[in-house]
């Protein structure tokens, strides 16, 4: 029995590790399906109850249709982002891509060869273990779109995040407006109740939330979910916008944060500490232009 108690946990740990590796280190549509299922569940509840109640309360039609319009735009960006070539580095384009960005000598060194692709790595590129290829201006691998984010689709990915955040925010705003309108119509906000001592007390927010949850449990649960989603997406969207405005990638930002504790590179003198400086930022507007219109070798030569 003691042997079995030791063998079973080890087997369970091995199976768990294999499942996690297969989930996050191989191309999988699982998160895409989960993403679509969550959107379907939210908009199913929005259409079935929120839209109907708001229509009966004579909400403006444009306000009610706004989440659907944002959803259509988000799905379009999702399809473009998931199907676009993120900037795969191949034998035919590796030499030309190496001329697009300069090597900063800190994060990106000239002459380094990818051990998997056996190609000289252009500046700002990285090998993706999931897609099993090097990606130019590599940002990260996104499981939600089942594709790498690189030079070819960073702009669309930013629009995808913005539209997804706006969609969740619009659903939350319409749903919150509905619940507030229902409270106003019920006149509960001006009601009172008797406490344990028999004294009359005004109805507070906790009782109002409890009443709404007991009366409209699915709507309140959905509202809590989309508010949380809006906050999380808003934070990540703000970070992605900051990276775009400063012409950085997630990969570069993470590597630069860890760089202070790393050892000196062989080409650098040991008596001078390495200092990372972002040499790719060209100002806010030019950075944004580069995100949506990636530079080519020809453009760089013209400059």
172 occurs within a structural domain = yes
Structural domain tally of the chain?
1
Instruction: Return left, alpha or beta for 283; rule: phi > 0 is left, psi -120 to 50 is alpha, else beta.
Output: left
Looking at residue 24, its pLDDT comes to: 60
Looking at residue 201, its pLDDT comes to: 67
Looking at residue 43, its pLDDT comes to: 96
Looking at residue 265, its pLDDT comes to: 47
224 occurs within a structural domain = yes
Token couple for 268: 């650098």
186 occurs within a structural domain = yes
How far apart (Å, rounded) are the C-alpha atoms in residues 154 and 293? Answer: 10
How far apart (Å, rounded) are the C-alpha atoms in residues 47 and 34? Answer: 20
95 occurs within a structural domain = yes
> One of 142, 148, 237, 254 is an active-site residue; which one?
142
Looking at residue 20, its pLDDT comes to: 59
The verdict on whether 142 is a catalytic residue reads yes
3 occurs within a structural domain = no
* Dihedral (Cα; 2, 8, 10, 11), 10-degree rounding: 150
Q: Which domain holds residue 97?
A: 20-190+201-255+278-301
Judging by DSSP bridges, how do beta strands 140-142 and 147-149 pair with one another? antiparallel
How far apart (Å, rounded) are the C-alpha atoms in residues 176 and 212? Answer: 11
260 occurs within a structural domain = no
Under-70 pLDDT residues of the chain? 1-11, 13, 15-25, 188-204, 259-274, 297-303
pTM of the model: 0.83
Residues 276/259, Cβ–Cβ less than 8 Å: yes
269 occurs within a structural domain = no
How far apart (Å, rounded) are the C-alpha atoms in residues 135 and 149? Answer: 8
231 occurs within a structural domain = yes
Token couple for 47: 């259409």
Cα angle: 92, vertex 96, 102; to 5 degrees: 145
How far apart (Å, rounded) are the C-alpha atoms in residues 14 and 7? Answer: 11
């Amino acid at each position: 029995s003691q042997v079995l108690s030791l063998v079973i946990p080890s087997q369970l740990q091995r199976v768990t590790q294999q499942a996690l590796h297969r989930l996050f280190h191989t191309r999988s549509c699982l998160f895409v399906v989960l993403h679509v299922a969550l959107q379907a569940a939210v908009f199913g509840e929005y259409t079935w109850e929120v839209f109907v109640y708001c229509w009966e309360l004579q909400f403006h039609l444009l306000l009610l249709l706004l989440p659907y319009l944002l959803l259509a735009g988000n799905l379009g960006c999702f399809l473009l982002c998931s199907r676009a070539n993120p900037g795969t580095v191949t034998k035919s384009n590796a030499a030309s891509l190496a001329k697009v960005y300069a090597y900063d000598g800190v994060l990106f060194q000239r002459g380094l060869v990818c051990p998997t692709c056996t190609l000289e790595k252009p500046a700002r590129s990285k090998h993706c273990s999931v897609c099993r290829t090097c990606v130019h201006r590599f940002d990260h691998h996104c499981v939600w779109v089942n594709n790498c984010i690189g030079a070819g689709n960073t702009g669309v990915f930013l629009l995808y995040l913005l539209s997804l955040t706006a969609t969740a925010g619009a659903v939350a705003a319409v749903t919150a407006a509905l619940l507030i309108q229902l409270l106003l119509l019920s006149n509960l906000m001006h009601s009172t109740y008797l406490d344990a001592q028999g004294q009359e007390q005004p109805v507070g927010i906790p009782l109002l939330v409890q009443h709404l949850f007991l009366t409209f449990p699915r709507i309140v649960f959905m509202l809590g979910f989309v508010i949380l989603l809006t906050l999380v997406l808003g934070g990540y969207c703000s970070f992605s916008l900051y990276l775009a405005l400063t012409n950085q990638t997630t990969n570069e930002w993470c590597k630069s944060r860890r760089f202070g504790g790393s050892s000196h590179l062989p080409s650098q003198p040991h008596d001078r500490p390495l200092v990372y400086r972002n040499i790719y930022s060209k100002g806010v507007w030019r950075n944004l232009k580069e995100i949506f219109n990636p530079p080519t070798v020809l453009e760089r030569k013209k400059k």
